[in-house]
Amino acid sequence: METTLRGVGVSHGVAIGEVRHMGTAVLEPPAKQIPAEEAEREQGRARQAVEAVAADLTARGNLAGGEAQHVLEAQAMMAQDPELMADVERRIAVGSTAERGVYDAFASYRALLANAGEYLAGRVADLDDVRNRIVARLLGVPMPGVPDSDEPYVLIARDLAPADTALLDPALVLGFVTEEGGPTSHSAILARALGVPAVVALPGAGELAEGTVVAVDGSTGEIFVEPSAGKRAEMESAAAARKAALSASTGPGATSDGHTVPLLANIGGPGDVPAALEAGAEGVGLFRTEFLFLDDSNRAPSEEKQVAAYRAVLEAFPEGRVVVRVLDAGADKPLDFLTPADEPNPALGVRGLRSLLDHPDVLRTQLTALSKAARGLPVHLEVMAPMVADRADAKAFADACREAGLQAKFGAMVEIPSAALRARSILREVEFLSLGTNDLAQYTFAADRQVGAVSRLQDPWQPALLDLVALSAEAAGAEGKSCGVCGEAASDPLLACVLTGLGVTSLSMGAASIPYVRATLAKYTLAQCERAAAAARAADSAEEARVAAQAVLSGE
């Protein structure tokens, strides 16, 4: 009998196929004692396994490229964390085997992160994956991972580590469903980049029996178990209609009555540029520059290396707009040379612009490199600072840009509620705003963006979050300046219409989402988008807001 389950849809599309479960995690190694004279040999085994896993993760990143590359490089750095390795060696010195020492050291760190409620708790799945890979290598058993199958399937997992998501074969993995995770988790972001339909935060997903046929709607978050022939035909028809609409929709983003809304791409480096161009991106709305800094956590990349990477992206969009976010270090992206190692809650500490203002030489080098990279190019370069809290932050960043001789627009990201509440004040120092809805939701609701248990509060349809977007857009309009959205909220076609109705002037998203958003925007007038936005803000929950907006746009 057909039954319906609902999680959080995080990547558009429909997938219909048989369930296959993620490979079993590594079993807990036995807690046997070793003689003291074997400790040095076991410590050597542990170090070799750690280095091998780190190298494998880095190689996977190089193969995947783009957004996945810097995620996997960060995971490789996690494997090589010196404090973790020191704990492993201490445990081996008092009698643990290499595999048991690794298992217990990672378990201790895992408990610390999970129980402290820190921002880094969202990286528990990544940490578990690193541990499992190291222990598997030490035990000589196969790595945990996606199942072997000659036939396409829908993958079910408790959670998906970036190393697995990055190399999914869309020809075999029709879609995936996880019990945990959230709409802004690494797996969700990478799923969108791959164009694989995905649903996360579905309790009980692991109870679906192997071989069960399911239909996954990555837009609504619905899972139909053993769908009827009628339901399958309905979903396949809707998917075909959507594909036809996407093919028919080309050109710049705009509403049906000609109100332009530039559709830009979020990229993590030059490797993401081809997909952005293929999707018809009108420029880049968020160029994450962290990928350059993850190669070596002990020092910043040289000015020459930065110039080359930035120019490769700027050259790809002649006459286009490229918005570069300066280094956003801290929290889940710690860098030894830049961020404090002993912060009790790094998400609320010295991160983003705060780190850069504490290390003005790093900021100066990056701004100088951007200036040199843009020299002689017709591109419209804009540079923005992450984690701006108030006017003083905005002024400090703008002053640094001017001192570096940067010929570009200077902007501020709105990721902290204070920045939305005082947006007009901030705009007296900078020329544009860009809303990072992922972090803005996290800080508005005190809900870690990586924790599935609070995923309802990470939903960008939350009316309180829409209120903050509206405040920012209204302030920008009053100052005659622009206000874009570069968070994952922009990738939801229906929400893109609401954001447009709130006064947002551009939308930036993963390349795979651009055709969906372009086709949906083109169906409605600006007035319809404004009415949908008002209806969404009048609701009391994310689900009510979504339903209310859909009703307005459907003419109900």
Q: Catalytic positions, please?
A: 186, 486
CA dihedral 469, 473, 474, 480 (to 10 degrees): 170
User: Residue 36 class from Cβ within 10 Å (0-12 exposed, 13-18 middle, 19+ buried)?
Assistant: exposed
C-beta separation of 216 from 199 below 8 A = yes
What element of type H or E holds 442? helix 437-445
Would you say 30 and 100 are in contact if contact means Cβ atoms under 8 Å apart?
yes
Residues ≥6 apart with Cβ < 8 Å to 106: 84, 127, 128, 130, 131, 134
Distance, in Å, from the CA atom of 390 to the CA atom of 419, rounded to the nearest integer, reads 6
The DSSP secondary-structure symbol of 206 reads G
What span, in angstroms and rounded, lies between the C-alpha atoms of 445 and 467? 13
d(CA 382, CA 487): 17
Helix/strand/coil percent split, the chain, to 5: 50, 15, 35
DSSP codes joined into one string, 86-101: HHHHHHHHTTB-HHHH
The residue behind tokens 């609504």 is 220
Tokens of 81: 């964390």
CB atoms within 10 A of CB 248: 9
CA 379, CA 385: separation in Å to the nearest integer?
19
Pairwise CA distance, residues 370 & 210, whole Å: 51
Q: Are 20 and 231 in contact (CB under 8 A)?
A: no
Q: What angle do CA 368, 371, 377 make, to 5 degrees?
A: 160
Instruction: Determine how many CB atoms are found less than 10 A away from the CB of residue 383.
Output: 27
